């Protein structure tokens, strides 16, 4: 059975420090040590695209026009109209 490089490195380090092979193997292949490799391999999340930043800016502007001070929509405005207007502004 192939083990992860981290487990093997921990095992080799423990054996070089004088631990017997059985206890070094038990500790090196324990759940916390194996978890280290999984944490290190997490996928990097992408940042916001230029288009999404532009749309965000446009939505803020349109929302200012479409909403009252208390946050309700003004007469004649809907969420659909807000999105349509923001998309037009981005184009």
pLDDT digits (tens, 9 = 90+) for 4-52: 788 888 889 898 999 898 888 888 888 887 777 776 666 778 888 999 9
How high is the pLDDT of residue 51? 95
State yes or no: pLDDT of 87 exceeds 90: yes
How high is the pLDDT of residue 55? 97
Token duo for residue 41 = 């391999």
Q: Which residue has the tokens 């038990």?
A: 26
State yes or no: pLDDT of 84 exceeds 60: yes
SS3 21: helix
Strands (E), the chain: none
SS3 84: helix
Token duo for residue 57 = 């800016």
pTM beyond 0.85:
no
């Amino acid at each position: 059975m192939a083990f992860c490089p981290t487990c093997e490195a921990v095992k080799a380090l423990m054996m070089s420090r004088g631990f017997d092979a059985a206890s070094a193997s038990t500790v090196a292949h324990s759940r916390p040590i194996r978890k280290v490799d999984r944490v290190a391999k997490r996928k990097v999340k992408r940042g916001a695209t230029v288009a999404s930043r532009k749309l965000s800016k446009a939505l803020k502007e349109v929302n200012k026009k479409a909403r009252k001070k208390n946050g309700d929509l003004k007469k004649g405005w809907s969420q659909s109209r807000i999105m349509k207007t923001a998309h037009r502004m981005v184009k």
